[in-house]
Copies of this chain bind each other. A is one copy, B any other.
Amino acid sequence: MKPTIYDVAKEAKVSIATVSKVINKTGSISDPTRKKVNKVIQRLNYKPNVVASALTKKQTDSLALIIPDISNPFFSEISRFIEDKAHEMGLTLFICSTDYNEEKEKRYIELLQSKQADGFIIASGFQNIHLVEEFHQNNIPVTLLAQDNLTESFNVVSVDDYRGGFLAINHLISLGHQNIAVIAEKVHSSTLRLHAYRDLLGMHGMPVSEENVIRTTASIQNGEKAMLGLLQKEDRPTAVFAANDILAVGALKAARSLGLEVPKDISVIGFDNMILSTTTVPELTTVAQPIKDMADKIVDVLIRQIKMPHLATERTLFVPELIVRESTAQPPKHLKN
């Protein structure tokens, strides 16, 4: 049997309260007894049972991170930073992948409530926002990651999507592109990036053709498919803004499969700056999210909310950054006006 606090107390000839105090460094304990107790703990290889302490303290020191898919590099990269920060703060992390599926969202959220997670981080791509609203009613701390929800007042940590879209399109326009298409996801963040697209085109007196905006789900294949559609149009765009790097990678593949050279024949810009964007040929020009800063911030915000539930809601927008690599250039000469 694993040793319990009773075993330690008996061996050290003190009470369990004393043992508890030396473990948690609470109360005041004389130096000799502390040493004595610690020695016994060592000798018995005693590990406090935190499920018992969680039951008494009514807090598990664990956080739930709900993402669409941990095998998607964007999410695995940011999860890693969140994990590090959480551990640094003494918390463990449950990570669950929901596949954009409302069933799974519901199941995981119930499960993690049962597991008494102290707080929840809901990443972008979460479908059923009603589920999250329930948290609010039940006073369960939640913070949204890169998911700007306007209807309810949640704590949010996100990148400034509009600004990011602006950066991307502005880069393309300043290179001289006049016919720019966009491949976006069907999520809110993509919508904001799209707004920047429309606004900027408008500002430059460029017409927005609805044929030039494709909405899809993030996957390399979908990026490929979307790009193929775009490239088969008569009035083919000279530049494509993919709302994330996964889609951009698909776009790159599609262009290549049609014998088109990027960026000579067509420019492609992504969003996210994940590892993928440096392994393509050409390397991807993209808009970087400061995911480490975002990860740190979101854990801080969530912890604050756990400790002080009635604090004002907080929305932190991080500034994205344009990373120019190889996949964007001036449009082909014969198409320039």
Chain A: residues with CB nearer than 8 A to chain B?
2, 45, 47-52, 54-55, 60, 69-71, 73, 76-77, 79-80, 83-84, 87, 92-97, 110-111, 113-116, 138, 220, 249, 252-253, 256, 275-276, 278-281
Contact = CB atoms under 8 A, between A and B. Distances in A.
Contacts of A111: 92
Nearest to A137: B45
A172 to B, nearest CB: 22
Contact of A116 (B50, B97, B256, B281): B50
Contacts of A73: 71, 73, 76, 275
Contact of A279 (B50, B79, B96, B249): B249
Contact of A79 (B45, B52, B71, B115): B71
A110 B80 contact: no
Contacts of A115: 50-51, 92
Contacts of A51: 51, 54-55, 60, 115-116
Contacts of A48: 114
Nearest to A71: B80
B70 A96 contact: no
Nearest to A115: B50
8 contacts: A48-B114, A70-B83, A70-B95, A71-B73, A71-B77, A71-B80, A83-B96, A83-B97
A186 to B, nearest CB: 22
Given A55-B51, A55-B52, A79 B83 contact: no
Contacts of A60: 51
Given A47-B110, A51-B54, A73-B275, 7 more contacts: A49-B55, A51-B115, A52-B55, A71-B80, A83-B95, A280-B280, A281-B281
A85 to B, nearest CB: 12
A220 B70 contact: no
Contacts of A54: 51
Contacts of A280: 279-281
Contacts of A47: 110, 113-114
Contacts of A279: 220, 249, 252-253, 276, 279-280
